[in-house]
Each structure stands twice: as C-alpha cells, then as structure tokens.
Structure 1
Amino acid sequence: MEKNLENNHIQHVLICISSSKLSRKTILSAADLAMRNHACLSAIYVKKNSYFNQLSLKEKQELEWNLSQAEKEGAQVFCIYGKDVVTEIVHFVKKNQVDCVVLGNSLKKRHSFVERESIASKLAKKIPDTDIYVHKQSNDEESLLLKKQRKESIRIIKDVLFAFFILAFVTLCGFFMESWGFRDINIIMMYIVGVLLTGIFTSSILSSFICFLYSGIAVFAFNYFFISPVWTFKVYDKSYIGTFFVMFITAFLISSITHKMKNMASVLSLKANRTELLLETSQKLQKAVHMEDVMQKMSWQISHLLEKNVLYFMGDPNHYEPKQCVYQKKAFHPLSSIEMQAAIQAYELNRHTGYATDICKDSRYLFLTVRNGEKIFSIVGIDMEKEPISSFEEGVLLAMLSECALAMEKEEFVAKQNDAFTKLKQEQLRANLLRSISHDLRTPLTSICGNASALLLNSKEMSEEQRIRMYTDIQEDSLWLINLVENLLSVTRIENGTMQLNFQTEIVSDVVEEAISHIRTKPKQKFLYEEPDEILAAKMDARLMIQVLTNLLNNAVKYSYETSIINVKVFALGEECVIEVCDDGAGIRDEEKEHIFDMFYSAQRKVVDGRRGMGLGLSLCRSIVLAHDGRIEVHDCKPHGAKFQIYLRKEEITLC
C-alpha cells in the first residue's frame, strides 16, 4: 500500500529500521518527508533476541550503520526489546502520537509453506488512523538483492557438498582404521574431527545448521557402517545408544564452539583492521599543517582503502575547483553536469548524494560531506565505478570522515588562534611603538625647544662660543630625530610588505665610506677604516645598506667613550664579503645577545650621551640584511666592546 504523503497534517514521522542495506533509502525518504512537512522524526528498531542472534556480522554492522544514519538525518532513535515487532510499533505509535509510519519493502522471505501477512498490512489493521508508507525498491535494487541471494544459495550448496565430502572421507578412513585393528573410539574421534573441519571451512548463513546436520548423520553413519550388525541401523548392545548420544552432543558442541570462534575471529580481525586504518589516518592527519593538507591526506587514505579515484572540494563546488587523487594511474573520469549538480546538492543539503542515493542517483560518483554538525568543511567525491562498497569499508569510511572533520575543526581553531595571536602581537607592537615614541621624542624635542627659546630671548647676551654650542646641540638632536623617523618609516614598510628593493652590484668600500661620511663623532672620537686588499662587490640596495651601516656606526659612537677609536673593516671570507664595525665600549652581555635584534629591545648598556634608543635600529638592520639573503652577527671585541659583522654574498665584477 502506498499513500500520497504531501499532507500538511503530518507532524510526527516514524521510520522502522532493519538490518537491510536497502533500508537506507527508506531513511532518506522519511527524512525528506519530515523536512517537507516540518514534522518531528523518530526511528525505531524492535530487537528480538531470537532473530538478532541469527544475524550475520555484516548484517549487524549494516544495522548499526542504519541507526547512525537515521540519527544523522535528525531522527530520535529508539531501540526497543520485544517479542512481536507489530505490537511494539503499534504501542509506540499510540504513545507518541505518530501520524505516519515509513517501512521498507524487503524481498527477503522466510522459508515457509504458508504465506504470511506483511507487517504493513498488520499495522494498517491495528492503527487505521495512521498513514502507512511502504518504500518500494527500484528494479536495480531488486536485481542487486536477487543477485546477492543467488550468491548466498550457491555458497550454501558448496558448504553442503563440502560437508558430505568430509563425511565420506572420514567414513573411508574409518574402514581403513577398522581393518588395521583400531578401536571404535578412534573412529568416533575421526567423525568429530570431521565436524571440526566442517565448522572451520563452511561460511554460509546455514553453516551452523550444516554442522548440526553433519553431527546427526555422522552418528547414523557410525552405527550403519561400524556397529554390529553392520549395514543396518539395528543395535544389539544397548550401551551403544549412550555412545551415540554422547557422540552427537560432543560433535554438536564442538561445531557450535568452532562457529562462535570463527565469528569472534572475524569480528576481531575487522576491528583490528578498522583500528589500524583509523590509527594510521589519525597519525597522518596530526602531521597536516593546514586544512587543505588535512583534506589531501584524507583523500589519499580513502583512495587506498577503496582502491578508487577520489576528488574533493575545499568548500562550495560553485566556487572551488576539484582536487584529484588518482589511485595507481587509474583513468580519471572528469565530472559531468549531473555529477557537478550532485556535488552542489551535497553541499547545499548537507547530506550524501550521487551514486546509490536518491539524489542524482545516475551519477558515477558518490559525494560525501566532511562536516561537524551543520558546518561543512569540504565535499569528497568517490568514483564508484558502478561497484558498491562493503559494509566494513563503509563503516571505516564514515569513521575516517568524522576523524577528518575533527582534524579540520582543530586546524580552523588553530588558524583563528594564530590570527588572534597575530592581531594581539600587532596591538602590542603599536602600544610599544606609541609608548617608545612618546618617551623618546620628549628629550630631543625639549632640548631643541629649550635651546631655540634661549637663543631667541638671550642671544645678544651670549658669547659666540655659547651660541655655536646651542646651534650644534639643535643640529645633533634634529639629526637624531631624522634618523629615528627614517627607522620608523622603514619598519612600517617592512611590516606592511611594501618595502621595494633596488638590487644592483655595488663596490662595498664605496658604500661603507658613504655611510661613514654621514656620521658625526664626538670631538675626540675617530673612525679607523681598514680597506680590503682587493676590490669587493656585492649585490645590494645601496640606500638601505647605508641606513644599516648608519645605525651600526651611530650605535658605536653612542656607546663608546669620548676618546674611543671605532674600527671599521671590510674583508673577504670564502664566497662572502664581511663588513665589520667594532667599538671599545662596555660591550653586550651574553644573555642579551640572543635578543639584541628583537624589536623594541634595548640592552642594558651604558649610554655615554644619555640618549636612550627605541630598540628599532638593530631589528631594522637584521630585516634589511635578511632581505639581501645575508646575515648579521654580534660578538665580543677584545679587550672590551661589541663587534657587529654583516655577511653578504660576494659578486664577481668585470673591469672594462
């Protein structure tokens, strides 16, 4: 029976879950129905112990997947224990005021000579006021199920033939053992070994029944061929009846234990493989450095798990190009218009689309969402090659996607944290800059203002020597401010990434001499410049390199005594040329050398002229030198003082 469910009165939809793989379509149909009618969605599974224990491992895994899928579609899932499915569903419908029940129509039939009434018919009789919707399978689904049943039938026939072969072989061995004088107990042990072999090597859903059947036939075969009178089922010695009973029970118990051990070994093997795959995936995802790297590693893991080509979108397929992961040089099939539409639908609806789903089911690709709740991180497309994947592979795949979603959420959190840290650091830099400017500009500006006021008011009463000294102080303070502003502008350009370098091959000695010419020393200070033995050239931006040397030379003047000699040296060292500035001040302590090039860091060095720096100069020097692919180092100068060395790559020059 099938009803038109486009009704506005539907407020509560109930899905009846089963262990069938085709139950997935039922779940999707019910979820779509609830969404269209803005209704509540519930899912129920009635667990009958007698039936549940007969389920195979794959069917149990399929049931778990169906329950989790219903939960992902927004259903509230209920697992109810009961003896009768229809009674439990009816009780749930009446208690929770369900308006519509959605069932799947399975082709799987019980082995019975009497045709049974369907669950849908029974429900329709007991709850006539509730809509019953039976989701029928398509022709492809029916064909797939019939094919699966046909394969299972072939497997059962093979197991039965194998059991009879073992029985015949054991009986033949019994004849040989009897002719060699072995006792009856040894022949019984051979039949029990046959039961054990049958339990180990049969794998159909009726393997337990086949072992049970083998145990009974083995008792009759032992009686018929080996108990006097032979070739009959008569027994003269009544004690053999107890032997037959013990033999049957022993064989049956051994077959049952063997079957359970096989199932347990299979479960443990699947769990071990699943754990190993998920552990390997987790380890690889932890090594990822950004979100796209996470998605790339996950796609390769999926490709190797399923042995299929995989692609992924890092967001809305309308705005992102697909990235490919080709498995072992398999031919890659570009996305058609139907498959692109399936990918877009997966992103917009936040659900699986494409192959084997009810949305764009003609698609060659199956599209899955990597999501955490309502947030979608990416879309994964798997080239199914018209071959469905196993329940185990599907379970591992969904677990891997969940692991990927957690990893991407973590990467997103780390990225946001880094952005917040960067913004905080920028704010700290701005605060430090403002604090340093307000503190360090006050002294020279006060000096300039005071000297200028004194000259305006009292210049006639001052001697020529006093006026010259004030003019000199104003000039020195102005030059210091100009140098500070240049450093601030350069730092701003470096932070904004707008600094443009004009690299040209320059004679190093010329650049050093130009920088020295801009430095004003104290009255008794002087520079001692040692030129190189050869002409050394390096590729540099001369203007910026002069600014670096000016900062170093000004520091040398600033931290040296009034009678100091400041040594400047240029020399070659292998493939590099070195510019060295050495003062004879107090030097720099070892613990401060690690931070001397940090922005806003000022070493605890004694300033001879009393003027404190902002901690920008050396940081700027390092940034400029690094932009030249060079390096700057600080060392101790013997017997005291600090020595700065700039290393630049040497360039060959041709003299015409």
Structure 2
Amino acid sequence: MMKNLLKMIFVMAMATGISLIVELFGVGSQSIVMMFLLGVLFTAVLTRSRGWAVSSAVLATLVFILLFTEPRYTLHVYNGADLILLGFFLVTAIVAGTITSRLQTQMELASSNEKTAQTMYKIALGFLSASGTNSVIKIGKDMLHNYVGIDGDIILGEKPIEGKTEYPIMSASGLQGKLVLNEQSEDQKVLVIQALCTQLGIALEREKLVKEREEIRMAMEKERQRSMLLRSIAHDLRSPLTALSGSGSLLSDNYDKLTDEERKDLACNVSEETVWLIDLVENILGMTRITEDHLVLKKQDEVIDDIVGEAIKHTERLFKENKLNVRLPDEILTAPMDGKLIAQVIINLLENAVCHTKRGTLVELSVYADNGRIAVSVSDNGDGVPDKIRSKLFEKFATQNEDIVDGRMGLGLGLAICKAIVEAHGGSIRYADNKPHGAVFTFMIPMEDSHE
C-alpha cells in the first residue's frame, strides 16, 4: 500500500510541476487539466488499482483548485466555467483511470492464462515420451518442481496421507493415486497442479493398459508355443515310434525266418530310432531348463579336440550317406567350458546340417583360434537357410515349414538351445551363407573365463 501511495504522490508531483512550468508560458487551464488527466492514467498503470486511480483523480482536482483557479491557494472556486471544467475532469479522470486499471488487469490475466496454457501444453507433451510407471512418476515430480515451484511425492493406490495437501490422480478407470505436496501452493498454481494430476492419470492409465496388453500377448505367445510344442512332439515321436514298433514286430513275428544280416539291420534301425528319441528328449529337457533359468554350467578346462571327438562319435550314424570333413588345429586349444553342453551344441549343428540337406551333402567341421576365442564352424553345401526365417533363426520353433509334414525336421529347438548355451559361456553364435551355396554356423567361446 505504501509503495502505491508513493507512486501516486510522485506522479501527481510531476504533473503539478510540469503544469506550473507550462503556465508560465501562457498555457490555459484546459491544457493543464489534460496534464493532470495524464497523471491519473499513469497512476492507474503504475499501481494497477482502480482505487488508487480514483484517489489520484480526487487529489488532482484538489491540487488544480488550490493552484490554478481563482482565488489561488484556497479551495474556493468562484468561476462557473472552472467548476464545470473540474466536474468534467473529475468524472473523466475516474472513468479513464478505472478503464485503464481494468485493462491492465485484463492484460495481466491474459498473460497469466497464456503462461498457464503453455505450461499445460508442456506438461501434456512431457508425458508422451514417458515409458514405464517409474518414468511417469519421475517426470511428474520434475514437472511439479519446475512449473509449480514446490516438491512433492506421487503415491499410487489409495494409501491415506495425513497432515499434507493432496490432489487425487484420476483416470477413466478410477483413482490411480495421489499427488502429495510438501508445502502449500499458491492459489494461481492450483489449475496447473490439477492439469498435472489429469495428465498423470492419463499416463498411468496408458502404462497400465500397455502392461495388460503385454501380459495378454505373452500369455497368447506362451499358449501358442505350448500348442506348437505339443503338436511338434506328437509328430516327431510318431515316426521313430512307428519305426520301433514295426522293427520290433518284424523281429518278434519272423525272427526264425530272417537271416542274420536282416536281424542285424532291424536291430540297427531300433538303435538309431532310440538314439533319435533320446536326442529329442534331451533337446526338450534342455530348452525347458533354459526357459526356466535352470541352466547350470559345470565349467572346467577342456581340450576342444576331445569335445569335438565326443560329438562326432555321437553323430556317426548320421554320416552313412553324407560326408563329414573335420579340420582341427595343429596346436592344442583349451577353454573353461561345460564339455557336455558344448558337445550338445556341436551335435545339434551337425544334425541340422544333415537333416536340412540332401543325401550325399558334404558337411565340414572346422575348429580354429580367433583373437583369444575358440571358434567352431559347421558348414554344408546344401540350399542354405530361406530368407523368411533368417530373422528368427535362433528363436524357438524356427523351422523351414510352419506346417507339420512327414519327415524328421525336428522341433526347431536346436539352434535356440545352441544360442542359449553359447551365450551362457560368454560367447556368440552366428549364421552366414556358404559359397557358392549352403550354410555356415559358427560359434565362439572365450579361452579364458571373464568372470575370474
């Protein structure tokens, strides 16, 4: 109040001083009245108050009567023209001061509304990039500090908070939480806080819907894979079981009629089909352990030549009609590994090379050192991998045909198991085209354990 009073006195003093100066140059009372009218307008602008504008008009009238009407230095006015002039001046000054004050107030309100609108736009824009509930909460706290100037907390759920100012965070599905302020906010900031709560509610609702949609997608994917696994197991078991049943029945019913060579062939068929079933079950169990995070490595220093030898011995039956060329390094290469699992990787790669190529295909197994890592490469000169499954080659159930057909194409688990085992050893596996045609699968594992 004292500040506005000093402003009014200063403006009126300036108007009076200028009026006294211009009167010396013969300027009439009508022009002097305009000088005081300007003073009233300046007072209204500086004080931004209708009351101070009216007060300055009254003060200007008194000063004009005292200094510029006859008789001078009194509050008496004998000239009728001066009275009319003063009456018009007082009314004009009050109206002009009021209008100016209101216009100033409206301009300030418009400016404040513009800032509020910009703030609300920034708040809405800020939540667009939020991903995850924690990110939404962090952005909300930062905005509360930046745009309201106070700190607070965002409490999810309906937990009651006592002794603090809180605002509900609502969404279409109901109460999402509360915005709790650490201190009282200014009245003009309430609209910003409410807008912040609205955007928080929308963002939290969006994250909730995204989470629910992802859960539904995961459940559907899990059900799809379960159905595919059951269907694939039923198919893959049918062929070897049929062969076992046929060979067993033939041996049982015609044992005496069969020659030794025929009985030997049937026994070999039984053995091969049994090994196939064992490999199938091993892959299923291996993927189950990997999916449930039960893959435990029993590492120890192993010579890679021994592991390769074990894998080749296990897959000898596959190369009766195919050729296998093995290239081992001259030096002895060792690495910390789970020998059984690495052998399983090599077995799966060799089986893939045979099962997905024609009879008589040349398969090459190469082992070499590469910058502190042991590299194992399995290549063939078949038709290679179709473009449509390359992007998901190391995923579960990645097969050349989605439809189940007769033949041993496998469950599509082999490469997924290989990838999981190799990565558990801190290594990597990749696919490349063989030149001029065929496929090359290479995996690498470090020669030294990075965890030591």
TM-score w.r.t. the length of structure 1 is 0.61
Inter-partner Cα distance in structure 2 for 1:276 and 1:260: 24
Inter-partner Cα distance in structure 1 for 2:409 and 2:383: 16
1:479 to 269, 275, 297: 275
Deviation at 1:416, TM superposition (A): 1.6
Deviation at 1:311, TM superposition (A): 4.1
Question: Which residue in the other structure is 2:10 paired with?
Answer: 165
Deviation at 1:492, TM superposition (A): 1.6
- Tell me the amino acid that sits aligned with residue 424 of structure 2: A
Question: Which residue in the other structure is 2:315 paired with?
Answer: 519
Question: Which residue in the other structure is 2:117 paired with?
Answer: 275
Deviation at 1:391, TM superposition (A): 0.7
Instruction: Report if the CA contact (8 A) 2:365-2:376 is conserved.
Output: yes
The alpha-carbon distance between structure 1 residues 236 and 378, as it changes in their structure 2 partners (threshold 3 A), is: closer
Is residue 234 from structure 1 mapped to residue 38 from structure 2 by the alignment?
no
- Tell me the amino acid that sits aligned with residue 107 of structure 2: A
Is residue 256 from structure 1 mapped to residue 98 from structure 2 by the alignment?
yes
* More contact order relative to length (CA 8 Å, sep ≥ 6): 2
Instruction: Report if the CA contact (8 A) 1:525-1:563 is conserved.
Output: yes
Question: Which residue in the other structure is 1:611 paired with?
Answer: 408
Question: Which residue in the other structure is 1:208 paired with?
Answer: 50
Instruction: Report if the CA contact (8 A) 2:50-2:102 is conserved.
Output: no
Q: RMSD between aligned alpha carbons?
A: 3.2
The alpha-carbon distance between structure 1 residues 274 and 514, as it changes in their structure 2 partners (threshold 3 A), is: farther
Aligned positions of 1:228-627 closer than 5 A? 231=73, 234=77, 236=79, 238=81, 244=86, 247-248=89-90, 250-305=92-147, 307-315=149-157, 344=160, 346=161, 353-354=162-163, 365-372=164-171, 375-384=174-183, 388-520=184-316, 521-603=318-400, 610-627=407-424
Instruction: Report if the CA contact (8 A) 1:315-1:379 is conserved.
Output: yes
Instruction: Report if the CA contact (8 A) 1:368-1:380 is conserved.
Output: yes
- Tell me the amino acid that sits aligned with residue 511 of structure 1: I
Instruction: Report if the CA contact (8 A) 2:179-2:197 is conserved.
Output: no
1:273-324 CA-to-partner distances (Å, cap 9, x unmatched) read: 333443343344333332233223323333445554534544466xxxxxxx
The alpha-carbon distance between structure 1 residues 572 and 226, as it changes in their structure 2 partners (threshold 3 A), is: farther
Runs of at least 5 residues in structure 2 that lack an aligned partner in the other structure:
none
1:113-149 CA-to-partner distances (Å, cap 9, x unmatched) read: xxxxxxxxxxxxxxxxxxxxxxxxxxxxxxxxxxxxx
Deviation at 1:235, TM superposition (A): 6.6
Q: Which SS does the other structure have where 1:582 is aligned?
A: strand
Deviation at 1:485, TM superposition (A): 1.1
Instruction: Report if the CA contact (8 A) 2:167-2:194 is conserved.
Output: no
1:249-282 CA-to-partner distances (Å, cap 9, x unmatched) read: 5544442333223222332333333334433433
2:23 to 174, 178, 182: 178
How many residues are aligned here?
445
Inter-partner Cα distance in structure 1 for 2:3 and 2:118: 33
Question: Which residue in the other structure is 1:35 paired with?
Answer: none
- Tell me the amino acid that sits aligned with residue 124 of structure 2: S
Q: Which SS does the other structure have where 1:651 is aligned?
A: coil
Inter-partner Cα distance in structure 1 for 2:27 and 2:371: 94
Deviation at 1:182, TM superposition (A): 5.4
State, as a whole percentage, how many aligned pairs show the same letter: 29
Inter-partner Cα distance in structure 2 for 1:237 and 1:454: 142
Inter-partner Cα distance in structure 1 for 2:306 and 2:32: 108
1:329-374 CA-to-partner distances (Å, cap 9, x unmatched) read: xxxxxxxxxxxxxxx4x4xxxxxx41xxxxxxxxxx4455444589
- Tell me the amino acid that sits aligned with residue 169 of structure 1: M
Instruction: Report if the CA contact (8 A) 1:538-1:649 is conserved.
Output: yes
Aligned positions of 1:89-238 closer than 5 A? 155=1, 157-180=2-25, 187-203=32-48, 207-222=49-64, 224-226=66-68, 231=73, 234=77, 236=79, 238=81
Instruction: Report if the CA contact (8 A) 1:516-1:550 is conserved.
Output: yes
The alpha-carbon distance between structure 1 residues 397 and 503, as it changes in their structure 2 partners (threshold 3 A), is: farther
- Tell me the amino acid that sits aligned with residue 588 of structure 1: V
